Amino acid sequence: MTMNNIYLVGFMGTGKSSVGRRLARERKIDFVDLDQLIEEREKKTISDIFKEKGESYFRALERKLLQEIASRANQVVACGGGVVIDPENIKLMKNSGTVVCLSATPEVIMERTRKANHRPLLNVPDPLETICALLADRQKFYSQADITIDTSEISIKEVAGRVLNSLPTL
């Protein structure tokens, strides 16, 4: 069986979950949200996991659940923004599907994440500064995706359309 998953990676606020849900609906395939799966397994919010167990515990869990997901096919998988930091995760995703990176400008990311407080990494006094610093740190990881789509100025529907157009074959 060919592993034809679509993995959506990219920074917080670039639209991975919204685009993922739409893609799955359009293609009539399964949608998996990795962060949501982590919350279900732990019966805790991401914020509480970070607070009570720390980031490295979260990263280990993220990797383990990604391994479970990658053993199945025909899914759209929305990943958390930090999944790409682990080279094993990138390998796993590339071996079981196409890695699509959604991007956006720091200002757009700031605007989209401003109202929500469920992202521990952006719960800081100067989120824009943190966004810029994290983006710079992570650029080398995000650039390993097979395809990158800038979502700053286009709708969820349009992003989904571009993802579908740029996929090899599904």
* Residue 20 near ligand S3P by CB under 6 A: no
Distances (CA, A) of 57 to 38, 54, 91: 11, 6, 21
Q: How far apart are CA 161 and CA 170, in angstroms?
A: 14
* Residue 12 near ligand S3P by CB under 6 A: yes
Between strands 147-150 and 30-33, the pairing is unpaired
To ligand S3P, the closest distance from the beta carbon of 5 in angstroms equals 17
Compare residues 55 and 158 and give the one whose CB is closer to ligand S3P: 55
To ligand S3P, the closest distance from the beta carbon of 115 in angstroms equals 13
Distances (CA, A) of 112 to 9, 41, 122: 16, 27, 12
Please list every residue from 66 through 125 that binds ligand S3P, using CB under 6 A.
Answer: 80-82, 119-121
* Residue 49 near ligand S3P by CB under 6 A: no
- The 3-state DSSP composition of the chain as helix, strand, coil percent (nearest 5) reads 55, 15, 30
To ligand S3P, the closest distance from the beta carbon of 78 in angstroms equals 7
Compare residues 58 and 96 and give the one whose CB is closer to ligand S3P: 58
Query: Considering only residues 15, 18, 24, 35, which one is a binding residue for ligand S3P as defined by CB under 6 A?
Result: 35
Query: Total number of residues binding ligand S3P (CB under 6 A)?
Result: 10
To ligand S3P, the closest distance from the beta carbon of 81 in angstroms equals 3
Distances (CA, A) of 73 to 22, 25, 61, 95, 143: 18, 16, 21, 11, 24
Between strands 5-10 and 147-150, the pairing is unpaired
By CB under 6 A, name the binding residues for ligand S3P: 12, 16, 35, 46, 80-82, 119-121
